[in-house]
Structure 1
């Protein structure tokens, strides 16, 4: 990959709340959704954050036997889908899982794949997608792995095979 840098708002090195098991969480810098009451509004600007070396990030994740996987959050990782696909592919090759949080719905992603082929590329390496914008009016703190009831936890492999959304009940 010619440009080996990705713009991140931050990173959690060890998380138990952003997917199953101990996970590394990468927060993408840049988001177009501007959800009301977003808890990560500092990630919306496409100019903020820090440029980080993707191969260094990958090496650190792959070589950590304690990590079960990686979670991409935001901002919105789909705004840098090509770079997240690069990381996801290498993480998947190591046997770890990949979860992605996005404000786009699965249907929006699939219908825009001609205009955004990198979205499809990223989905090929994703195990679970939490889709949909955060909706403060549908906020429920009892939900596992999501903030509002409109968001879905989607098994991407099954969904890509069937062509229909296959949700996971956590």
Structure 2
């Protein structure tokens, strides 16, 4: 199960292409100006079965990918790892290539240096990571898919955990 703030079944603003977005409930960052402040509390939200989410994803043949957002997905790393693995199994079974984006307030280096095995495994299971806390003073609409200019879009598939490669397929 995943504790969610909500789900957007068809989004075009949370990564490239038509995306299914799972918004995690609970966020330790509580960024000032966050576009999703209702996701901050760890005491709110609803639980959703991973299989139920996966069945929703399977029903839409127009999806390009799935996005994990928040709240903070890395605070529920084990649940999001399971969902990521199920998406990859579905891809393999159907010959699809649904990519997985993940938005986090953590910097990629923080996740690696934390030595938290679940968080590291979730990091390895996504294709694109948008990292860094939203900073209202650095708010931008010039850079797609981020809220502030300090945030990075990282191609995890091309990165190793000593050198993160910024994604530039825009």
User: What's the TM-score once normalised by structure 2's chain length?
Assistant: 0.92
Q: Distance in 1 between matches of 2:124 and 2:143?
A: 26
What is aligned with 1:150? 150
1:7 matches 2:14 = no
Residues 36-72 of structure 1 deviation map (CA, whole Å, 9 limit, x = unaligned): 1111111011111111111110122134211111000
CA RMSD of aligned residues (A): 1.1
C-alpha displacement of 1:96: 1.1
Q: Distance in 1 between matches of 2:43 and 2:33?
A: 21
Correspondence 1:2-81 to 2 at 5 A: 5-81=1-77
What is aligned with 2:94? none
Residues 16-49 of structure 1 deviation map (CA, whole Å, 9 limit, x = unaligned): 1111111000100000001111111110111111
What is aligned with 1:165? 164
Q: Distance in 1 between matches of 2:59 and 2:127?
A: 20
Q: Distance in 2 between matches of 1:124 and 1:166?
A: 14
Q: Distance in 2 between matches of 1:22 and 1:120?
A: 27
Counterpart among 103, 106, 120 of residue 105 in structure 2:
103
C-alpha displacement of 1:11: 0.7
Q: Distance in 1 between matches of 2:164 and 2:58?
A: 30
What is aligned with 2:114? 112
Count of aligned pairs: 163
C-alpha displacement of 1:88: 0.8
Q: Distance in 2 between matches of 1:63 and 1:11?
A: 15
User: What's the TM-score once normalised by structure 1's chain length?
Assistant: 0.92
Q: Distance in 1 between matches of 2:145 and 2:88?
A: 21
Q: Distance in 2 between matches of 1:28 and 1:40?
A: 10
C-alpha displacement of 1:129: 0.2
1:69·1:91 contact (CA, 8 Å) conserved in 2?
no
Runs of 4 or more consecutive aligned structure 1 residues displaced over 3 Å after TM superposition: none
C-alpha displacement of 1:168: 1.4
Secondary structure of the 1:12 match is: strand
